[in-house]
Structure 1
Amino acid sequence: MGKSNNNPRAYGRQSCTKQFWKAGEYEGAPRNTRRQMDSSSTSGFDHARMHPKFLHSNATSHKWALGAFAELLDNALDEVHSGATYVNVDVLDNKKDGSKMLLVEDNGGGMDPEKMRKCMSLGYSEKSKMADTIGQYGNGFKTSTMRLGADVIVFSRSDRTQSIGLLSYTFLRSTAKEDIVVPILDYERRRGNETWGKMFRSSSENWDKSLETILEWSPFESERDLDHQFYMMKQHGTRIIIYNLWEDDEGNLELDLDTEAHDIQMRGVNRDEKNIQMAEQYPNSRHFLTYRHSLRSYAAILYLRLPTNFRIILRGKDVEHHNILNDLMWSEQITYRPKPIEKEETYIAKKTKKEKKDTNMVAEVTLGFVKDAKNHLDVQGFNVYHRNRLITPFWRVWNAAGSDGRGVIGVIEADYINPAHDKQGFEHTLLLDRLKQKLVETQKAYWSTNCHKIGYAPRRNVRAINEEREAAKSGSQRPVLDSNPDKSSSRKTPVLDSNPDESPSSKRPVLVSNRDESSSRKRPVLDSNLDKSSSRKRSLPDSNTNEAKSPPHKSQKVSSDKSPNGNADMHKKNTVQTTTKSSTRRQEIVLGLSVVEQPRKENQGNVAADVQTERCKSRRENEELILADEKARGDNEENNLKEELRNASNTIRELRIQLQKANEEIKKLNMQQDERARRNKEENNLLKEELRDKSNELEKANEEIKKLNMQQDDLIDMLAESEMKLRHST
């Protein structure tokens, strides 16, 4: 007969995919065997009643793998209050299969057995009650480790205890578990010595079973290897090892561990080779261009403030903390106080409510142009921090159609808004919408006011900016009288002109069209320098005027002649006037009509000529004003150049005086040096002479000594001879 199905391994280990986004396809064991497995395979283990598939679905909250590293760094930073001084992130080799593993360790206070079990469970967090910690949901360890790899083993040592916990998705899937089973080993320090003994929570059999499971599904082969991990952390701390790292669709590790020896990087869409090259060219924008794929770049800006005695070590090299504010120029700071959201309150609550101002409902917004903004890079966004932790890196709140907003970087710490569970964004609330609206308004106002400083066309206050530029060039601010452009200009501006020669009562503004053949838009010129003749009234002349101006009739001319025959002539005159009266009247009427038509035509021609004359005159005067303004501008520039030349000549004169003084000082120093050298030379000569004299005396003394020695030798010889003589005589 075949083997009994009571053994869970009789069903065979289910294959585990290496791709994170496919690892959630797990249905568990067949239904008819679940009860048998629940009673036989999970007894004695510490476990949470939850399906193993939840580990994967819970980890999908991290869309970005580097965000999972941030959760582990947060846990290490929270241990600062327990004495932690560093967190070390490194890459290890799995001795069983040669694969790569991730290491995250700190030297904090460690975890006792109770804290270890809460760490392996979901939703347990004591940090939410502490003001100086980042974690608050009790979910970060599980989501982050399961996002980076399928399995994790934790070693933690406190003052009196040490524990080992294994959270293995591979183990749960391969053995078709229906619950999240967590094998945990506990040790306690024996009193009076430094040895560690086993710590049983239920029975020794369960402890041995947990040890067997950990050794089978972990990268370590013996209990001695497990003890060596505690030896690596010295007195206390936590050591997290993540293995069976996730792979991409091509079978490569999702994390790039080979390109940079001191960094952990991402593959795929988060990596942009163009941005990497630009980061080398524009160092002030490096973190914006590389934080998506580089853990070192992301960790450098992850915290707004880092404790002075705390280090982040990445693969053997410290991560240099970087404040984005150091990359800004022309920065501005704005205090934002959001309006609190009104909540429904009971009558008693309203009566007993005390008027207290929430000091946390305030945020300091600092923004400015990144120092590389003059290169017109598409770099913009706000780094929004919560409790010192970066939640949304370079949040792009303003998506303008053109180049508006480029180069503006900001930093804000919004502690009054709750972050999402993955700490890669905020909960979408009304407070977040108001903050976004405020940031958009702030960025627009800053951009439109300062964009001309980095080479963009001014967006507002164009006239003020131009006057500011002119004032900066000329040294004095003056109004522009006229801006009559050349014929190639497409826009004509109105020019206010007046003739100072005429009295104010005679000035009448006339709107004249400046006709320019090459201009597409005509510039209206407001001019009051019109001749008095242009104000003639177009009226018909009366009959008296016409008669006065009309040429005299022949009968009238004849009647005005004098004759010697007075009476006869007068009679003839009256007769002629009487007989021609009716015909003359008829002719006068016809003549009057012709005379009326003639002045009307003359008046029309005069008016057109006057208008044309006035146009030419106003144009000439405008040109004269333009020339005068250009002349004045040229005079001002000439005066400024003269002033600058005068200042330069004064500066040169002062420099020459200083140079003369310096030369005199140098001469004095040279003379002093020469004098000192002469004295030294004299002293050296004296010393040489003294030395020569001493040497001569020494030679004389040596000669005397030689003579004395010779005399001594002679005396010795004489004594010897005398002794010989005495001996012979005796």
Structure 2
Amino acid sequence: MLTNKKDGNRMLLIEDNGGGMDPDKMRQCMSLGYSLKSKVADAIGQYGNGFKTSTMRLGADVIVFSRCSPKDGTRPTQTIGLLSYTFLRCTGKEDIVVPMLDYEKGVREWKNIIRSSLGDWEKNMEAMVQWSPFSSETELLKQFDHMKDQGTRIIIYNLWEDDQGQLELDFETDKNDIQIRGVNRDEKNIQMANKFPNSKHFLTYRHSLRSYASILYLRIPPGFRMILRGKDVEHHNIVNDMMMITEVTYRPQPGADVVSKDTNIVAVVTMGFVKDAKSHIDVQGYNVYHKNRLIKPFWRLWNSTGSDGRGVIGVLEANFVEPAHDKQGFERTIVLSRLESRLLQMQKTYWRTHCHKIGYAPRISNSSLHDSEASPDYTPETSSRRKKASNKSALNKNQKVAGSRPPMPAVNGIGGESKPLKTENIHEDDLQDPVNTSYTKSSPHYGYGNTMQIVTQSHSHPSNLPIFGENGSVPINYSTLDLDQLEEENRQLKEKLKRKEDAILGDLLHELENERARCKALEAQLEEVKEKCEALNKEQESIIDVFAEERERRDKEEETLRKKLKETTTTIQDLVDRVKQLELEKMRNHNWNTA
């Protein structure tokens, strides 16, 4: 941050110690639509408008200083360029005029490069001195003292303000950061960032330049530094914020609009739960990079109404998709749609596999999920429902096999009391040893006085035969889950599901009420703003009327004064003529008397 000495306002400085720009490259940079990368496929910066649109978004005016080292026998050069909306507006220019000054290193000092005429040079210098933050050529040239042999220095001034008259850029909150005000700044997220350090970048990248710059590159080359307001920006790898990490290799399928022709290209998707996930905060999304540059920060693909998907973050480098013009997203292509679907599937699979480990209720298995997702008309059958149907079927078969020997209404237990008869089929899975097995009266599992025998015929048809007692007429209840137990289990599951549905419905209703309250508050604010706008419009109209009346009065007064001035001038001229006439008469009389 710099301060404009002319008006005391704040300015934004971006500088580097790179190769710099010679006079020709500076003109190409300041021209609309020019790019050396326009014929290079998949290159960021191929449209040639990034510098202009980005600087004009931050402020009305920008001045650029660039020094270039000698190349191919040329001499060192330095150039100053001014792209000023204020200058164009105030001077009424119809075309975009960019004043520029070029210098070349001589034997001892820098000399002016006159490209057209000395008059044009002086006009460019006059415009820069008048419309830039610097009051003389000496002050302009002092900016090059911050560079060594090469580099570029960009100063953006007349920064834009918000509706409250404050700068959109916030320089005061953090002396080592530049933040923005407005909708991207959420005070609740700022407080949460202090409580959940592993989720800090998710909560702050929208309003903090330092936070965003720390995740801007996937890898930092050796010797590369980013310095923000005098303090280095520490590179941060989102993988360090994860736990339960897993890696999935994604191989894009070629399509009609595929960007890359390389069939061997793959993307390694690293994903896991954020280390703060046990607090159940709503942090999720993929950081998608393109050629090492962050394009989609924390791309949220799973918009579940409940808590599903929370805490799952991921990172990948997708060089096979094409970035949009503003580098804040990707072009909508078939390749991107496939990637989006695959990433969503990865997140769902990971969540349902691991969510119970951080305190969420277990979800259904992946196989059931895939079956249900594959066919929209398929309704999964619960295990209790399947067992209940199987038991009913077995019961009917048992009754048919019994034939002429109807079952007895009751059997006598040890205590002699009558118990209701239950008939049920025994499945092969319910037996430890699916062969003919006999139990004696000493077996503690059965309370019957007679020796019982379980009859099974083969492994392939164990469920088709009933179980008979010694007299061949009374079926034995051996299954671990009888019909009543299944019904009770089904009832309990229904009650549990109903309670869960009621809880979810309650949460949704609560969120809906909060959203309605917010809508009402926003509507009230909107009405208040409309009323203020109407009042301001009326006040403006009244001021305009006052100014119009005042102008009309002044015009009339001016016209009256002009008339009076004209009359006075005429009177003065008449008096002058009269004086001349009197002087002539006096001279004549004097001459006559003398004669």
TM normalised by structure 1 equals: 0.51
The question of 1:164 aligning with 2:84 is answered no
Equivalent residue number for residue 52 of structure 2: 142
Aligned residues: 400
Equivalent residue number for residue 317 of structure 1: 231
Aligned-partner SS, 1:270: coil
Structure 1 residues 224 and 462: alpha-carbon distance in aligned structure 2, compared to 1, 3 A threshold: closer
Structure 1 residues 431 and 167: alpha-carbon distance in aligned structure 2, compared to 1, 3 A threshold: same
Give, in whole Å, the separation in 2 of the partners of 1:620 and 1:204.
103
Give, in whole Å, the separation in 2 of the partners of 1:189 and 1:114.
16
Offset at 1:369?
1.1
| Residue type of the alignment partner of 1:137 | Y
Equivalence map 1:712-727=2 (5 Å): none
Equivalent residue number for residue 391 of structure 2: none
Offset at 1:505?
2.8
The question of 1:429 aligning with 2:333 is answered yes
Deviations 1:538-571 (A, max 9, x none): xxxxxxxxxxxxxxxxxxxxxxxxxxxxxxxxxx
Equivalent residue number for residue 188 of structure 1: 104
The question of 1:334 aligning with 2:248 is answered yes
Equivalent residue number for residue 363 of structure 2: 459
Offset at 1:446?
1.2
The question of 1:221 aligning with 2:132 is answered no
Structure 1 residues 527 and 127: alpha-carbon distance in aligned structure 2, compared to 1, 3 A threshold: same
Structure 1 residues 360 and 103: alpha-carbon distance in aligned structure 2, compared to 1, 3 A threshold: farther
Give, in whole Å, the separation in 2 of the partners of 1:375 and 1:392.
25
Equivalent residue number for residue 297 of structure 2: 393
Does the 8 Å contact 1:152/1:243 carry over to 2? yes
Give, in whole Å, the separation in 2 of the partners of 1:111 and 1:170.
25
More helix by share: 1
Give, in whole Å, the separation in 2 of the partners of 1:435 and 1:254.
36
Deviations 1:441-473 (A, max 9, x none): 111111111112211122234999xxxxxxxxx
The question of 1:262 aligning with 2:180 is answered no
Equivalence map 1:466-485=2 (5 Å): none
The question of 1:201 aligning with 2:201 is answered no
Equivalent residue number for residue 232 of structure 1: 146
| Residue type of the alignment partner of 1:386 | H
Offset at 1:128?
5.8
The question of 1:178 aligning with 2:178 is answered no
| Residue type of the alignment partner of 2:301 | V
Give, in whole Å, the separation in 1 of the partners of 2:138 and 2:479.
104
| Residue type of the alignment partner of 2:307 | S
Structure 1 residues 368 and 619: alpha-carbon distance in aligned structure 2, compared to 1, 3 A threshold: closer
Give, in whole Å, the separation in 2 of the partners of 1:185 and 1:462.
67
Does the 8 Å contact 1:304/1:323 carry over to 2? yes
| Residue type of the alignment partner of 1:119 | C
Give, in whole Å, the separation in 2 of the partners of 1:394 and 1:343.
25
Aligned-partner SS, 2:183: helix
Does the 8 Å contact 1:360/1:415 carry over to 2? no
Structure 1 residues 283 and 506: alpha-carbon distance in aligned structure 2, compared to 1, 3 A threshold: closer
Structure 1 residues 329 and 232: alpha-carbon distance in aligned structure 2, compared to 1, 3 A threshold: same
Does the 8 Å contact 1:335/1:365 carry over to 2? yes
Does the 8 Å contact 2:257/2:333 carry over to 1? no
Does the 8 Å contact 1:183/1:213 carry over to 2? yes
The question of 1:212 aligning with 2:126 is answered yes
Give, in whole Å, the separation in 2 of the partners of 1:227 and 1:236.
14
Offset at 1:125?
2.1
Equivalent residue number for residue 455 of structure 2: 505
Equivalent residue number for residue 404 of structure 1: 308
Of 13, 25, 29, the residue aligned with 1:119 is 29
Offset at 1:343?
7.4
Equivalence map 1:679-690=2 (5 Å): none
Query: Which structure has the bigger radius of gyration?
Result: 1
| Residue type of the alignment partner of 1:297 | S
The question of 1:94 aligning with 2:4 is answered yes
The structure with higher relative contact order (CA 8 Å, sep 6+) is 1
Structure 1 residues 211 and 359: alpha-carbon distance in aligned structure 2, compared to 1, 3 A threshold: farther
Uncovered stretches (5+) of structure 2, i.e. residues with no partner: 70-75, 369-425, 432-436, 440-451, 484-595
Equivalent residue number for residue 268 of structure 2: 364
Of 160, 166, 169, the residue aligned with 1:246 is 160
Equivalent residue number for residue 469 of structure 2: 531
Aligned-partner SS, 2:104: strand
| Residue type of the alignment partner of 1:182 | V
Structure 1 residues 620 and 371: alpha-carbon distance in aligned structure 2, compared to 1, 3 A threshold: closer
Aligned-partner SS, 1:185: strand
Give, in whole Å, the separation in 2 of the partners of 1:115 and 1:92.
26
| Residue type of the alignment partner of 1:118 | Q
Of 212, 216, 235, the residue aligned with 1:298 is 212
Aligned-partner SS, 1:369: strand
Give, in whole Å, the separation in 2 of the partners of 1:463 and 1:444.
13
Give, in whole Å, the separation in 2 of the partners of 1:619 and 1:362.
52
Give, in whole Å, the separation in 2 of the partners of 1:463 and 1:175.
71
Give, in whole Å, the separation in 2 of the partners of 1:619 and 1:119.
81
Equivalent residue number for residue 347 of structure 2: 443
My pick for the range that moved more, 448-457 or 178-187, is 448-457
Give, in whole Å, the separation in 2 of the partners of 1:112 and 1:130.
22
Of 63, 66, 86, the residue aligned with 1:153 is 63
Does the 8 Å contact 1:134/1:387 carry over to 2? no
Offset at 1:281?
1.0
Give, in whole Å, the separation in 2 of the partners of 1:620 and 1:370.
42
Equivalent residue number for residue 470 of structure 1: none
| Residue type of the alignment partner of 1:221 | S
Of 284, 296, 308, the residue aligned with 2:198 is 284
Aligned-partner SS, 2:97: strand
Identity fraction in percent: 64
| Residue type of the alignment partner of 1:434 | R
Equivalent residue number for residue 54 of structure 1: none
Give, in whole Å, the separation in 2 of the partners of 1:129 and 1:463.
48
Aligned-partner SS, 1:182: coil
Give, in whole Å, the separation in 2 of the partners of 1:278 and 1:620.
50
Offset at 1:304?
0.4
Does the 8 Å contact 1:266/1:294 carry over to 2? yes
Equivalent residue number for residue 48 of structure 1: none
Uncovered stretches (5+) of structure 1, i.e. residues with no partner: 1-90, 345-355, 465-493, 509-524, 537-609, 623-730
Deviations 1:251-301 (A, max 9, x none): 111111111000001111111111111111111110001000100000000
| Residue type of the alignment partner of 2:133 | P
| Residue type of the alignment partner of 2:170 | D
Equivalent residue number for residue 104 of structure 1: 14
TM normalised by structure 2 equals: 0.62
Structure 1 residues 206 and 451: alpha-carbon distance in aligned structure 2, compared to 1, 3 A threshold: same
Equivalent residue number for residue 187 of structure 2: 273
Offset at 1:357?
6.6
Equivalent residue number for residue 388 of structure 2: none
